[in-house]
Structure 1
Amino acid sequence: MPVRLYLDAPLTEGALLTLPPEPSRHVQVLRMQPGDDLLIFNGHDDGVEWLAEVTRMGRQDVDVRIGASQTCHRELPRTVVLAVGMPANERMDALVEKATELGARGMQPLQCARSVLKLSGERAEKRRAHWQGVAVAASEQSGRTRVPLIEPIRTIDAWLAALPAEPAPGEVRHVLSFAPDAVQVKDLPADARHITFLSGPEGGLDPREEALARQRGFIPLSLGPRVLRADTAPLAALTLVGALG
């Protein structure tokens, strides 16, 4: 597959564009030359990517000519959002990368009572921007035509309070749980088109947080008898939904 690049800009056949700094560096590192082919997507036109050709290699920037558009179908048929208690260290980077590859539409990083990673202010925004870059790179690599939106970091209490009290038609909310009344992924309603999975950090959600989630329409969901890591559980749920089609 040709090199794929994400450009947050309108794209039209025949347009001549100078690539922004980051995509330009990517092309230069690969030692591409005028006449080499690329694929470009902008995330705005669902299921569309454009052929492109390198026309100039500058010292700091690269020019390309946009060619014909082509349609492709690589997104999940259901919209899946992961609301995750942020795991510590570099595990959040890997979680964003793999969730993007598996088709997540968006991610909401959360600070919970048992969170090890604590971020606020400028540090929080820098990490969010970093994770958004991870999502861009994973979308380029995996062939997606959308880039998942990484939302600003919020506390779980503030995020739950801002949700509508009841899910909309076609929407389901699940909190990953070992509760005795937890349902299975195979029990998802056939007409569920938008799914939100809520999962905790290391140590999981505390009982108060899970109770608050239930009050906002989150149904407990079991992923089996084994205890999964904070960065494994949401990926497992996403994978199972992808297998359902």
Structure 2
Amino acid sequence: MIDIHCHILPGIDDGAQSMEDTIKMARAAVDEGIHTIIATPHHKNSKYDNPKELIIPKVEEVNKALTSEGIDLMILPGQEVRLYGELIEGLENNEILSLNHTQYVFVEFPSNHVPRYAETLLFDLQLKEITPIIVHPERNQEIIERPEVLYNLVKKGALTQVTASSVSGHFGKKIRNFSFQLIESNLTHFIASDAHNVGNRGFKMAETMDLIQSKYGNDLFYFFQENAELLVQGNHVYQDTPEPIKKKKFLGIF
């Protein structure tokens, strides 16, 4: 498996705090069948700034450490960018790091709302041939309450990535059920761990992909697997036509 969202780089955000933590996470990833991880440290959120020039050497350092430890895992460079008004300028100034130097860029919304300028900015990214991937929309309060907001963004070309732990229920029943709705409505294109440690924010990828295979069958199982591979290669990923989520159905009110 390929995990496209992980906070495995040591000492730069709220993920691994030391190289020892990084090694523990790497061993846990391999145990789950993960062979490649895109490291995606936070950038431009309220606590952390991790520009491209800082991330690249960190990735090289970690890969050397994994080789010396005999751990068969490849780390690729990436970034989890909190949406901000000057994101385009950040790209032009070589501060923003796409996922493995491809056309795909992670975009994170604040947890409780979607900024009003999000639609315009995501469209502007696409005009520059950058494909935005909205991370963990299933945990955004406004999207949970108004799923049509996400539908509109996906319909206009944005992609999304749902967290494995959300699907498997580790963030609670409400978020699990909403994650299912996103999957069933073709409103997500990737499943990734967003792992921060080996404890309460672990990978949960093997468990989640097994769940997806048993609940939805092989087609969707391979859809998510292959999309991660296509992303790493910088190729176009699979997209099915998105469908709006009926809020009343989601809330169980008929």
TM-score band w.r.t. shorter chain? 0.3 to 0.5
**Considering only CA atoms, is the larger Rg found in Structure 1 or Structure 2?**
1
TM-score relative to the length of structure 1: 0.37
Q: Which has the higher strand share?
A: 1
TM-score, normalised to structure 2, is: 0.36
